[in-house]
Amino acid sequence: MEHSTEILYNKTEVFCSAVHRFGSDALLLARFAEPKRLQRAADLCSGCGIVSLEWHDRGHRGPCAAIELQPEASALLSEALTAQNIDHINPCCTDLRTFREGEGSFDLCACNPPYFTAGFQSSDPARATARHETDCTLEDVCRCAFRLLKDGGRLALCHRPERLAEVLAVLRAHRLEPKRLAFVKNQPDAAPWLFLVEAQKNRKTGLRIEPDVLLSTGAALYGKQ
């Protein structure tokens, strides 16, 4: 498959296409909530596999399921894994609404979900699926994470600030209690353009607001590992 290649900090290669690529939000998500070295993890709506590959680049070697509905995106990850002899990440080209392998055994799930429920949609079905909740809603993500996670297991999401109240409500409705929240800004005095949240399965209330992530310093994406 024709692709471009992006190189992560520790030289892990990510295969991308014009449709299936990644942005800073996915990198921020992967670094906001990381599995310990041998923990079992799932990358939901994995696209080209950027979250699972970033975890690998930072030292994760436990089992990782990369769950993606679109065959072209899943194939890009498969090719990248084969080219680099990475065998602990398992590309699963399937619908997360029906995925049940390893139920109740995962330590961490992460998802960079479709952000939009309305508005203009691309005429390209792949782009529309990636950006709009046509094939995967926020509730679908939470249901899947609840099935897969063990008690106390974590779900991490990135999303747009205008949907913060909704995201927190849906997490709690699915017994995923928000525990950490951080806002991402381009400048200290700018409005946030993204938030990162981590919830735990079947845990008590208690939300910690963490310092803002500032992209103007570059440290959030490049530098400190």
pLDDT band at 52; cut points 50, 70, 90? very high
pLDDT digits (tens, 9 = 90+) for 173-221: 999 999 999 999 999 999 999 999 999 999 999 999 999 999 876 556 6
What pLDDT is attached to residue 87? Answer: 98
With b for 16 or more beta-carbon neighbours within 10 A and e for fewer, the 187-197 pattern comes to eeeeeeebbbb
Torsion of CA 218, 221, 224, 225, to 10 degrees: 180
Using DSSP's 3-state secondary structure scheme, residue 157 falls into strand
Q: What percent of the chain has pLDDT over 90?
A: 84
Statement: residue 125 has pLDDT above 70: no
Q: Tokens standing for 101?
A: 């392998």
**Pairing status of strand 194-201 against strand 149-159:** antiparallel
pLDDT digits (tens, 9 = 90+) for 136-173: 899 999 999 999 999 999 999 999 999 999 999 999 99
What pLDDT is attached to residue 218? Answer: 58
> How far, in whole angstroms, is CA 93 from its chain's centroid?
16
Domain limits, the chain: 4-217
pTM, rounded to two decimals:
0.90
136 touches 113 (CB < 8 A)? yes
102 HSE (CA, 13 A, CB side): 21
What pLDDT is attached to residue 1? Answer: 74
Q: How far is CA 24 from CA 29, 84, 95, 165, in A?
A: 9, 23, 25, 23
Statement: residue 107 has pLDDT above 70: yes
Residue type, 136: C
Statement: residue 128 has pLDDT above 50: no
List beta partners, residue 8.
Answer: none
With b for 16 or more beta-carbon neighbours within 10 A and e for fewer, the 45-72 pattern comes to bbbbbbbbbbbbbbebebbbbbbbbbee
Q: Indicate the DSSP class of residue 39.
A: -
State the average pLDDT over residues 78-89.
98
Statement: residue 120 has pLDDT above 60: no
What pLDDT is attached to residue 129? Answer: 47
CATH architecture of the domain formed by 4-217? 3-Layer(aba) Sandwich (3.40)
Using DSSP's 3-state secondary structure scheme, residue 78 falls into helix
List beta partners, residue 201.
Answer: 176
